[in-house]
Amino acid sequence: MKITIHRGSHEIGGSCVEVEGRAGSRLLLDIGQPLMNTEKQPPSLPDRLDGVLISHAHQDHYGLLDLVGDAAPCYLSAPTRRLIELTGQYTGKDYSRPEYRTFSSHRPFPCGEFRITPYLVDHSAFDAHGFLIEDGANRIFYSGDFRGHGRKAALLDHLEMQPPSPVDALLLEGTMLGHPAEKIRTEQEIEEKIAAALREHRGLAFVTVSGQNIDRLVTLYRACIRSGRKLVIDPYVGHVLREIHGFSPNIPFPSMEYGRNLGVYFPQRLCRRMRLRLGLGHLLDEFGFLRVRQRELAADPGRYLVLARDSMAAELSERLGGLAENALFLYSLWRGYWEEEKMQKLRGWVEERKMNLVYAHTSGHAYPATLQRLAEAMAPKQIIPIHTLFPEEYPALFRQPVRIVHDGEGIVLSESEEEP
C-alpha cells in the first residue's frame, strides 16, 4: 500500500490523502478546501480513482469535491450528504455527483480492492467518521477529525475497548498541537456555563454559533430549558435541524414538540432569498407559527436567547435599537474568528451597544491526551501526522514511531507478515 498526502502534512484544513492498493486501486480520503494558504494550487489528482471517502461535512474536508472526475463514486454517510447538499443549496455551489454511495458505521464495504470500515467518531460535525482501510497486505486507520469531549465522547471509549488493531499506519490529526495548554472543557461544561450566564443576566441575550454545529445547538437549547429561556434561531438553522432530526429523532427542530423553548426569527434578507431565489418559501410558512417578532423581544427580553451572525448585524441594530443595550452576548466559536474581517459588523455592533461578551466554546478536535489514547488503542507500527501545523511535536507525544512527511511525498508500506 502507498500513501500520499496531497495536502495536510503541515496544514490544518484542505485535507486530501491518496491511498494506492497493491493491485493498483486508488482512493482519496477527503478532498477539502484549504482554510489557509488559499492561493496554493489544488492538489494534482490521479486520472483514475476508484472512489472518494468524505469523513464529515466540513468544507475543509469536502470543499474541492468538484475537482474529482465524475467517474469516481463518492462514499459518505447519509447525514453528511444531506448537510453538504444544504450547504450547496444556500451558497450556490454545486456539490452534486453522478454517484453518491452512503455507508453506515461499522459496516464494511468494498471499493476497488479495498475493504473499508467506517467508525463513527465524536466531532463538532454531525456524523463524522474515521476509516479502517485494508487491501489484503496492509491495514491503515484514518482518524479524520475527532475528539473525546463532545456529546458523543463515549464513541472514543468504545473504540478503545474494541480497536481495529494492530494497524500498519495511523494517519492521525493534530489540530490542537502547538496550542497553549488549557483545561479540556466538555460540551456538558459549556452547557452549564451558558445556563449560568443566562440565569444571571436578566435582559436580552444573543449568541453566535455555527449553524451546522449540532452538538452546540443542542447545548444552547438545553441551556435555555435550564434557564427558562427560548432559543431563537433563523430559518436556515431551522432547516438544518429539521433535516438532522430526520436522522436523529432526539435533535430539537422548529415544531410543536419543541416550540416551548425554540422559536424562529425571520431576517428580511435571508427570508427574501429563501422565498424568491431558493424556492424555500414553504419552510418559512412551516416555521411561521414559531416566529418571534420584535414586540415579543421587547415585551419580555429576559425570555430569549437570539442567534446573531455578521450578516444580520445591521438589521438587528435597526430593528432592536436600544433593546440590545448592555445585552449578554455569547460567543460560541473559535476565538480567532472574532478578530477576522468577516466578524467586523457583528463585533462593531456588540461594542457599540456595550454588550457583556462571554466566551463559551470548546474545540471540535482532540487534545494531546486524547490523541495518545487513540494511538495506544490502535497499536500502530507508525503514526503519520496529518491536519496539523506542528508535526514535529508528534515524536515527543507518542511511544510509537512517527513518520513526518511533506505534501506530495509518497510512503510505501511494507507488507504485513500475516493478513488479518
119, part of any domain: yes
- Give the list of residues 6+ apart from residue 374 with CB closer than 8 angstroms, or none: 143, 146, 156, 159, 160, 170, 172, 366
Sheet containing strand 2-7, edge to edge, reads: 100-103, 74-77, 51-53, 26-29, 16-20, 2-7, 410-412
Domain end among 328, 344, 359:
359
Task: In whole angstroms, give the CA distance from residue 362 to residue 211.
Answer: 16
Provide the CA 37 distance to its chain's centre, in angstroms: 20
Which residue spans within 94-211 are E strands per DSSP? Answer: 100-103, 109-111, 114-121, 128-134, 139-142, 169-173, 205-208
Pairing of strands 205-208, 230-233: unpaired
Half-sphere exposure (CA, 13 Å, Cβ side) for 419?
6
Residue with cell 416566529: 291
Give the Cα separation of 225 and 252 in Å (integer).
Answer: 12
Cell of 91: 451558497
Asked if residue 239 belongs to a domain, the reply is: yes
Q: How far apart are CA 418 and CA 186, in angstroms?
A: 40
Q: Is 268 helix (H, G, I), strand (E, B) or coil?
A: helix
Same domain, 368 and 355: no
Are 353 and 324 in contact by the 8 Å Cβ rule? The answer is yes
* 417 domain residue, yes or no: no
Same domain, yes or no: 201 and 70: no
Distance of alpha carbon 254 from alpha carbon 125, whole angstroms: 20
Domain identity same for 149 and 263? no
CA quadruple 372, 377, 381, 385: dihedral, nearest 10: -40
What residues contact residue 31 under an 8 Å CB cut-off, 6+ apart?
A: 15, 16, 43, 45, 52, 54, 61, 62, 63, 64, 65, 67, 68
Indicate whether 351 and 368 sit together in one domain. Answer: no
Domain shared by 239 and 266, yes or no: yes
Q: Hey, is 170 helix, strand or coil?
A: strand
Task: Clarify whether residues 225 and 127 are in a common domain.
Answer: no
Clarify whether residues 14 and 130 are in a common domain. Answer: yes
Q: What is the total count of domains within the chain?
A: 2
Tell whether 192 is covered by a domain.
yes
CA distances from residue 66 to 62, 72, 74, 113 in whole angstroms, order as listed: 9, 11, 11, 24
CATH of residue 238: 3.40.50.10710
Answer yes or no: are the C-beta atoms of 278 and 89 closer than 8 Å.
yes
User: Block means of pLDDT (10 residues each) for the chain, length 420 residues?
Assistant: 95 95 96 79 84 97 92 96 96 89 97 98 98 97 97 96 95 92 90 98 97 97 98 98 97 96 96 95 96 95 96 90 93 93 94 96 96 96 97 97 95 70
**CATH label of the domain that carries residue 151:** 3.60.15.10
- Burial classification of residue 277, based on how many CB atoms lie within 10 Å of its CB (0-12 exposed, 13-18 middle, 19 or more buried): exposed
Q: Are residues 262 and 149 in the same domain?
A: no
- Position 44 scores a pLDDT of 81
Residue 320 lies in a domain: yes
- HSE-CB at 70 with a 13 A cutoff on CA atoms is 3
Is the same domain home to 9 and 126? Answer: yes
Residues 264 and 139 in one domain: no
Domain range holding 130?
Answer: 2-179+364-412
Structural domain contains residue 322: yes
Residue 71's alpha-carbon distances to 24, 50, 309, in angstroms, are: 16, 8, 39
Residue 172's DSSP bridge partners are 385
Q: How far is CA 322 from CA 85, 230, 297, in A?
A: 39, 20, 12
pLDDT for the residue 181: 73
